[in-house]
Structure 1
Amino acid sequence: MTNNNRGRRQFLGQLTAVTLAGMIPSPLLAFSGNSSSLAALGGRPVRPAPKTWPKWPYVDDRMVEEVVKTTKSGIWSRIQARTNGNVATFEQRFAALLGAKYSLGTGSGTQALAICVAALGIGPGDEVITSPYTDFGTISAIITNRALPVMADLDPASYQLDPADVERKITPATKAIMPVHMMGLPADMDRIMAIAAKHKLKVIEDACQGVLATHRGRTLGSIGELGCFSFQASKQIACGEGGAIICNDAALMDACFTVHNHGTDKAGKHVTIGPKYRMNEFEAAVLLGQLPTVVERFKLRNRNADYLTEKLKGFKGLVPQKKYAGTESGSYYNYAMSYKKEHFNNATRAQFLKALAAEGIAMSGYIPRGMHREPWVDYLVEQPDYKKMYSPARLQAFREAARQLPGCDQVCDEMVAMHGCGTLIAGTADMDDVVKAIMKVYDHRDKLAAL
């Protein structure tokens, strides 16, 4: 090779680096410039099939031993061992883990939320403000108590409730706010708690995705009057189904116990109306087996999430979920980002996700439609009991407002999410694969239209 040729190649290389530096933040330059064609179009994938992610849900020998021990004991229901069984033991340890005074095990996160609504005396004619971007269990918990689930819009950068719209939606019938800590990151709790105090409202935290995450030194679920968690199979602490409530008010916790125990209080008196929402001893056994190592996995998720966020910093094509002031850690049920198609040659999100999946990195659009776009809204306003409890004008206004949540619509259109529970407990090299795959797809964005 002549000196002239070598000089020309060096110059072109420098020119390419300068050009890329203008479009791609410096932390990503090392991951860019992949000359291999897209795997979806016949190229070699960034992460070949033999490379696997940690299995989820998490299982170890300790958990199996707890279930075997419970099976042999013949004590399978919490009412057989109210004070020293698996459920009671889990409640004590879970409360201590989260820095709360009290905890109550339930059959699911949805049940936990419904119990809290009932325990606060919220029912027919009342309203609860919540998020449209959530599992339907959030909405169902309010409907179960025959209250009206009023949906406020989202901050499209954080995927959380927009406090300004929450305040606009308050009426004389509003009794509570139910923020959803989406993806396991804290909602804007400073403003939500200030609004609740100003209007004398209760706060029920839907922390079903947010176990162990912290905001200003407090765990999610311990900031409002009551906090609820889910232990469904995909969650950070999992037992198939299952849930829990935490709070710091003994009387309120007793009220929750009575509701979840078909209206029967701890003294055995049948004092009110309630369903049977009890956690069983097998669920608690699985959970107890996980607790000794759950903090270790929580810290690893945060470390890997921070690593990804740092690597993607300044990249305009994918923008990681916004964090509010006061956020100290997240639970990362999902690691979520907003897909900006204008930076990918206007390729659709579906084309981007297809290309990424072929590279060995699975992500999804998560919730395809906000709850405000689902048919339950029209169903609810036509129900005879709701027509008795709410005026025609209120139901009509509810229906119309439910369709006008543009922030949520934007989130549903832009969201790309990677399941965090198992993926984010992998190694740093695995996180590098995620970034490499994203940048490979970005480098070949002009080919995405072919997918």
Structure 2
Amino acid sequence: MDKETWSRRRFIGQAGIGVATAMTAGALESLAGVTLTYPNDGKLALLGGKAIREGKSWPAWPHVDDNVISKIVETTKSGKWSRIQSAQGTVATFEKAFSGLIGSDFCVATGSGTQALSTCVEALNIGPGDEVITSPYTDFGTISAILTSRALPVLVDLDSESFQLDPDEVEKHITPNTKAIMPVHIMGLPANMERIMAIAKKHGLLVIEDACQAPFSRYQGKPVGVIGDLGCFSFQASKAIACGEGGAVVGNNQAMMEECFTVQNRGASRAGKNERIGPKYRMNEFEGAILMGQLDEAKSRFETRDANAKYLSEKLMAIPGLTPQKQYEGTESGSYYNYAMKYDSEEFGGVDRAQFLKAIQAEGVPFTSYIREGLHRAPWVDTILNQQVYKRFYTEQRLRSYRESMNLPKCDEITDRTLVAFWGSAVLLGGREDMDDIVNAVTKVYENRSSLKSV
């Protein structure tokens, strides 16, 4: 984009937002309508200038206050540290409270989000010889949960604008052995559940939602996590609701949820009968205490993050070369574990993503590339293909075609060139001045993009 076009777009953007066009010494109006004050001549911090956020800090996360501490002390003094010691303990209390907040009929707490996903796979009797379609762009816990039951995780390519599973690719990879689809609500925004549920219904498949990053997100009038057959959440320390490690399975089908309870309780049902295969995935009472200590404010924090993300999207959409993550029709709100964007190096004058990230980070704004490579490029693929259990339950032809299917160009484009993001759990709890700093940093880097090409 040439200088004249940029100036025209900038003026139109200002006029549309109602920003005064008068200029003052040392100050400019950003395209997004946020007053941008440049120290001195506006030199990039990477090149020796003063950073936009010099001397400022972001909100701390996880949040610790007297309420959280008192819950831990109370649990310690009680001597009831395992959920099996009390039917009214912190874990059981949390399960009831969380299902009420999420909007599910039932909840079973686990020791992590990965354990929650693994519980679902096992509870739905998915095992050797079966296939589960899921995303290559996720934490390895998603894949690990499928591998733990010795099923085959089938990875398919993404929508390059939403970073979510492409439903067309999902349908192409369904085989007679496919038992379930595991969509990942990556970054905390809903996947294309309308299409995914339609595909699942057409082919008679189960749907396990990996909503580990997405508590309270809503899509087409429904909370994420209860759209499919089962949904899973994570309470790891970086998540929007945190207890160090922890997770939960939610659902509305009582029979399925009872199977989930039995699986996570090392195969023992609520009646105390040892009924099936199951690891011990129980959440402990200290994790339940920490969660109960912050649950009262969890929804309001979600609303703060969602409102700040919406504000950022409105502003950043006006800046060339940085497009907020695409949201599917019917998306009402997002948890924003990460706030993600698609970076276009051409709009930034040919500056590659790595150099852009260095420039933004120098301004005090913590953009990263997030996941550095898709899981289809990780060593686990060759590991399982050489294991006897997979050779026994999958034909040689199927394993060969599986290896050949690990060519996912859109995912590669996202990880290698286009995605930039920042951690939302903490940053999006900031005030509007903090959000304006993000917009200002992007604008400053854009307006000085030509100086980056020689660095």
Q: TM-score by structure 1 length? A: 0.94
Percent identity reads 57
> Which of 153, 171, 175 pairs up with 2:175?
171
1:8 matched residue in structure 2: none
1:217 maps onto 2:221 in alignment: yes
1:21 matched residue in structure 2: 8
> Which of 195, 198, 204 pairs up with 1:200?
204
Partner-residue secondary structure (3-state), 1:432: helix
1:9 matched residue in structure 2: none
Whole-Å separation in 2 of the counterparts to 1:65 and 1:19 = 55
Whole-Å separation in 2 of the counterparts to 1:236 and 1:147 = 30
1:43 matched residue in structure 2: 49
What do the CA deviations read for 1:10-43 (whole angstroms, capped 9, x no partner)? xxxxxx8875123686154245695411111111
* Contact 2:61/2:426 (8 A) holds in 1: yes
Give 1:75's aligned amino acid: K
* Contact 2:105/2:252 (8 A) holds in 1: yes
Give 1:162's aligned amino acid: D
Whole-Å separation in 1 of the counterparts to 2:263 and 2:337 = 29
1:57 maps onto 2:62 in alignment: yes
Whole-Å separation in 1 of the counterparts to 2:127 and 2:251 = 21
1:409 matched residue in structure 2: 412
1:123 matched residue in structure 2: 127
1:143 maps onto 2:130 in alignment: no
Give 1:44's aligned amino acid: K
Give 1:80's aligned amino acid: Q
Give 1:410's aligned amino acid: E
Whole-Å separation in 2 of the counterparts to 1:360 and 1:24 = 27
Partner-residue secondary structure (3-state), 2:231: strand
Partner-residue secondary structure (3-state), 1:67: helix
Structure 1 window deviating more from structure 2 (23-32 vs 249-258): it is 23-32
* Contact 1:161/1:180 (8 A) holds in 2: yes
Q: 1:415/1:25 Cα in 2 relative to 1: closer, same or farther (>3 Å)?
A: farther
After superposition, residues 30-429 of structure 1 pair within 5 angstroms as 30-31=33-34, 34=38, 35-48=41-54, 50-81=55-86, 83-402=87-406, 404-412=407-415, 413-429=417-433
CA offset at residue 348 of structure 1? 1.6
Whole-Å separation in 2 of the counterparts to 1:273 and 1:348 = 50
Q: How many residues align?
A: 433
* Contact 1:369/1:409 (8 A) holds in 2: yes
Whole-Å separation in 2 of the counterparts to 1:24 and 1:46 = 23
Q: 1:154/1:254 Cα in 2 relative to 1: closer, same or farther (>3 Å)?
A: same
Structure 1 window deviating more from structure 2 (342-351 vs 143-152): it is 342-351
Partner-residue secondary structure (3-state), 2:346: helix
CA offset at residue 409 of structure 1? 1.0
Partner-residue secondary structure (3-state), 1:319: strand
Give 1:442's aligned amino acid: Y
Whole-Å separation in 2 of the counterparts to 1:224 and 1:406 = 28
Give 2:221's aligned amino acid: G
* Contact 2:109/2:282 (8 A) holds in 1: yes
Whole-Å separation in 2 of the counterparts to 1:428 and 1:450 = 34
Whole-Å separation in 2 of the counterparts to 1:58 and 1:391 = 50
Partner-residue secondary structure (3-state), 1:154: coil
What do the CA deviations read for 1:423-448 (whole angstroms, capped 9, x no partner)? 00100011000000001011110111
What do the CA deviations read for 1:90-122 (whole angstroms, capped 9, x no partner)? 000000001100000000000000000011110
Whole-Å separation in 1 of the counterparts to 2:4 and 2:453 = 26
* Contact 2:319/2:443 (8 A) holds in 1: no
Give 2:403's aligned amino acid: R
CA offset at residue 450 of structure 1? 3.9
Q: 1:370/1:24 Cα in 2 relative to 1: closer, same or farther (>3 Å)?
A: farther
Give 1:120's aligned amino acid: L
* Contact 1:67/1:285 (8 A) holds in 2: yes
* Contact 2:215/2:224 (8 A) holds in 1: yes
Partner-residue secondary structure (3-state), 2:453: helix
* Contact 1:33/1:440 (8 A) holds in 2: no
Whole-Å separation in 1 of the counterparts to 2:5 and 2:389 = 66
* Contact 2:179/2:205 (8 A) holds in 1: yes
Whole-Å separation in 1 of the counterparts to 2:320 and 2:133 = 33
CA offset at residue 375 of structure 1? 1.2
CA offset at residue 336 of structure 1? 0.3
Q: 1:378/1:293 Cα in 2 relative to 1: closer, same or farther (>3 Å)?
A: same
Whole-Å separation in 1 of the counterparts to 2:11 and 2:352 = 20
Q: Aligned-pair RMSD on alpha carbons?
A: 1.4
Whole-Å separation in 2 of the counterparts to 1:273 and 1:299 = 40
CA offset at residue 196 of structure 1? 0.3
Give 2:9's aligned amino acid: G
* Contact 1:227/1:247 (8 A) holds in 2: yes
Give 1:57's aligned amino acid: P
Give 2:251's aligned amino acid: C
What do the CA deviations read for 1:192-239 (whole angstroms, capped 9, x no partner)? 000000000000000000000001111110000000000000000000
* Contact 1:24/1:315 (8 A) holds in 2: no
What do the CA deviations read for 1:325-379 (whole angstroms, capped 9, x no partner)? 1100000000000111111121121111111111110110000000011111111
Partner-residue secondary structure (3-state), 1:160: coil
Q: 1:324/1:444 Cα in 2 relative to 1: closer, same or farther (>3 Å)?
A: same
Q: 1:39/1:259 Cα in 2 relative to 1: closer, same or farther (>3 Å)?
A: same
* Contact 1:25/1:314 (8 A) holds in 2: no
CA offset at residue 58 of structure 1? 1.2
* Contact 1:33/1:443 (8 A) holds in 2: no
Q: 1:444/1:129 Cα in 2 relative to 1: closer, same or farther (>3 Å)?
A: same
* Contact 1:232/1:240 (8 A) holds in 2: yes
Partner-residue secondary structure (3-state), 1:263: coil
Q: 1:391/1:19 Cα in 2 relative to 1: closer, same or farther (>3 Å)?
A: closer
Whole-Å separation in 1 of the counterparts to 2:276 and 2:50 = 64
